[in-house]
A and B are shown apart, each in its own frame.
Chain A
Amino acid sequence: MDQVKISRRDLMSVESPGRYVGGEFGSVIKDNVIKQLEETGSCREVRFAFCFPDVYEIGMSNLAMQILYKCLNDMEECWCERVFSPWVDMDAVMRKNNIELYSMESKSPLKDFDIVAFTLGYEMCYTNVLQILDLGRIPFRSKDRKEDDPIVMCGGPCAYNIEPMADFFDVAMMGEGEELIVEVTKIVKRYKDNGKKDRIELLRELSALEGVYVPCLYEPVYDNGRYKGLKKLDECAPDKIRKRIIKDLDKVPYPTRPVIPNIRIIHDRAYLEIFRGCIRGCRFCQAGFIYRPVREKSPDTLCRQGIEIEHNTGYDELGILSLSSSDYTGLKELTDGLLDAFEGRHTSLSLPSLRIDNFALDLMEKVSKTRKSGLTFAPEAGTQRLRDVINKGICEDDIMRSLRLAFSGGWSTVKLYFMLGLPTETMEDVKGIADLAYKIERLYFDVCREQGIKARKPEITVSTSMYIPKPFTPFQWERQNTKEEFLEKQSYLRSLIKSRNIKYIWHDVETSLWESVLARGDRRLCDVIEEGYRKGCFYDAWDDHFKYDVWMETLNEHGLTWEMFARGFDVDDEHLPWEHIDVGVNMSFFRKEREKAYNEQITPPCREKCSGCGAQCFKAGECYAPK
Chain B
Amino acid sequence: MTRQVHRTEYVVRCLFERVGDASFVGHLDLMHTFDRAVRRAEMPIMYTQGYNPRPMMVFALPLGVGIDTLGDYVDISLSRLVDAEEFMEKVNPNLPSGVRLYGGINIDEPKNSLMSVVTTAMYRIKAPGIRDPLMRLFEKEEIKVEKRSKGKTVETDIRPLLLSGAQNMSPDPDICELYVCAGSVRNLRPDVLLSALCRHEGYDEELSQNAVITRLALFGGEYPRLLDIKGLL
Contacts and interface: CB of A to CB of B under 8 A. Distances in A.
Interface stretch (B35-43, B132-140, B216-224): B35-43
Contact of A24 (B3, B65, B96): B96
B195 interface: no
Contacts of B211: 8
Contact of A264 (B22, B29, B42): B29
B97 to A, nearest CB: 4
A263 B66 contact: no
Interface stretch (B47-55, B70-78, B102-110): B47-55
Q: Helix, strand, loop or mixed for chain A's interface?
A: loop
Interface in A243-285: 260, 262-264, 268
B129 interface: no
Nearest to B211: A8
A31 to B, nearest CB: 13
A20 B54 CA distance: 28
Given A7-B210, A18-B24, A344-B2, A25 B95 contact: yes
A314 B24 contact: no
B33 A313 contact: no
Contact of A369 (B21, B29, B39, B52): B52
B194 to A, nearest CB: 11
Given A23-B98, A24-B96, A346 B47 contact: yes
B25 A263 contact: yes
The 7 closest A-B pairs by CB, nearest first: A314-B36, A344-B2, A314-B39, A21-B21, A9-B209, A314-B40, A17-B24
B173 interface: no
Contacts of A312: 40
Interface in B1-15: 1-4
Contacts of B2: 343-345
- Range of interface residues on B (Cβ < 8 Å): 35 or more
A23 B21 CA distance: 7
A370 B26 contact: no
Contacts of A12: 65-66, 209
B39 A370 contact: no
Contacts of B62: none
Interface string A309-343: 00111111000000000000000000000000001
Given A263-B26, A369-B52, A25 B209 contact: no
Given A8-B212, A12-B65, A22 B37 contact: no
Contacts of A17: 24, 65-66
B37 A370 contact: no
Contacts of B37: 25, 314
A11 interface: yes
B160 interface: no
Given A8-B211, A262-B22, 11 more contacts: A8-B212, A13-B209, A18-B26, A18-B29, A21-B22, A262-B25, A264-B32, A312-B40, A313-B36, A314-B37, A314-B38
B161 to A, nearest CB: 22
Interface in A469-484: none
Given A12-B65, A314-B37, A370-B52, A23 B3 contact: no
Interface in B72-88: none
Contact of B53 (A8, A13, A25, A346): A346
A316 B39 CA distance: 9
Contact of A370 (B30, B51, B210): B51
* A23, A262, A369 — most chain B CB neighbours (10 Å): A262
A574 to B, nearest CB: 52
